[in-house]
Amino acid sequence: MAREERLYPDFANGLFAWHLFRYVWALPYAFGRNVLDLGCGSGYGVALLAGVARAVFGVDYDREAVAECVNMYGGLRNVRFAVMDGSRLALDTSRFGLVTCFEVLEHIPSAEVGTALAGIARVLQRGGLFLASTPNRLVEVPHLRSVGIAYDHHVNRYAPRELGRALRRHFSDVRLFGQVPREGSVRRTLRYLDFFNLRHHPLLQGAKAWITRQTLVGQVPTPPGLGSFQVRRDLVRQAGILLALCRK
């Protein structure tokens, strides 16, 4: 994972709260299992999972990231780290009960994703679980266009149907969810009705920015906490982040 996208524990950073929520979502599935965290980044997620897992193995292709992880969390008794290319896992077959892979698939070129997913399925035990997250192309692309940002760190973007199709080639049971803000009933209904994600049209983005400026004058915005999010199957198309729960 590029350093520009590596997240460190910072509860004043709203983006970190989004990312942390995914590891909290994974905690019940990690209980008592041997876990592989693929693309472990700064390693905080490995340390979190280690609190309930039998053992956690964090891998990342970035040597600097792995060195930082070892320095920060290498003293934990059930944690290991290694430099490894996630699309070519050099690990024993059927070694893990759970593989987590958060915000990684979008960094793997399309031509290599099949190899990466096949490797993940290979190292999973029968009945093992694969949890993944990736930005939703149906939301990310129009949003970036509306705010005038050209973002080139993501070389592979998925819409829900595309992600599901790619995963079902390697896993017997695939369920997709959306990570969305926890909202009141009115905003939740509006999000549900916005099937085509028109809220990310440039005109609506401009209006939203103007309203935000007016309502936050003289206030310090409060960063989201873990209670600010929810996982919903009925809002997959409208969610900014796709979550996948797969069983081998």
Opening angle at CA 180, ends 176 and 182, nearest 5:
135
Name the token pair of 125: 């035990």
User: CB atoms < 10 A from the CB of 51, how many?
Assistant: 12
Q: How far apart are CA 89 and CA 119, in angstroms?
A: 6
Indicate the pTM of the whole model: 0.85
Helical segments of 51-109, H only: 63-73
* Contact present, 16 and 9 (Cβ < 8 Å): yes
Residue in 126, 77, 141, 134 with CA at minimum distance from that of residue 101: 134
Residue in 40, 54, 37 with CA at minimum distance from that of residue 91: 37
Name the token pair of 120: 């993940």
pLDDT of residue 73: 97
pLDDT tens string 87-119: 889 999 999 999 999 999 998 999 999 999 999
Q: How far apart are CA 133 and CA 17, in angstroms?
A: 14
Q: How far apart are CA 243 and CA 201, in angstroms?
A: 24
* Contact present, 176 and 234 (Cβ < 8 Å): no
Q: How far apart are CA 210 and CA 247, in angstroms?
A: 44
**Which residue ranges in the chain fall short of pLDDT 70?**
1-5, 146-152, 184-226
pLDDT of residue 145: 73
pLDDT tens string 58-91: 999 999 999 999 999 999 999 999 999 988 899 9
Q: E strands within the chain?
A: 34-38, 55-60, 79-83, 96-102, 124-135, 173-181, 229-232, 241-247
Residue in 144, 161, 165, 166 with CA at minimum distance from that of residue 236: 161
Domains along the chain? 11-247 (3.40.50.150)
Q: How far apart are CA 189 and CA 183, in angstroms?
A: 9
